[in-house]
Amino acid sequence: MFNSGIQEITVPQLIITFYNENKEMIWVDNLYLKKGIKQERKLRFNYQIPLNPLIKIVSDNMDLCFVNGMHNKDITSKILPNRIKNHTNNKLQKVNHSLFSYTKIELNSYIGNPK
């Protein structure tokens, strides 16, 4: 993970999303790195893909999904009125796993005391 910013990343987090063969999201995991990352520095990390995670889809119904107290559909239409669905599907990384076919790693760079 590389910090290209001008402030130290105090709480570096990786968000790892797993997809099935149809590129449908089926599981999300995260990993917090133990050390912060100073400006213009990198920090190596290891993440072991679980062999047999217990995956249970509770619901894929978004009718009762709220963001900051507002219904998800209201937020989506205001913030992303021309959203392109699945536009990142061609950026997924192929993995060799019995449950997952693709993965995506995103970085969440939290700065604890911004200046």
pLDDT in tens, 42-101: 999 999 888 888 877 777 777 777 777 777 777 777 777 776 776 677 789 999 998 899
Look-up: residue for tokens 């559909």? 73
- Sketch the domain layout of the chain as residue ranges: 11-59+88-110
Report the distance separating Cα 67 and Cα 76, nearest Å.
10
Residues ≥6 apart with Cβ < 8 Å to 99: 18, 20, 26, 52, 53, 55
What pLDDT score was predicted for residue 31?
A: 93
What's the rounded Cα separation, in Å, for the pair 75 and 81?
9
Indicate the pTM of the whole model.
0.73
Cα distance from N-terminal residue to C-terminal residue, the chain: 22
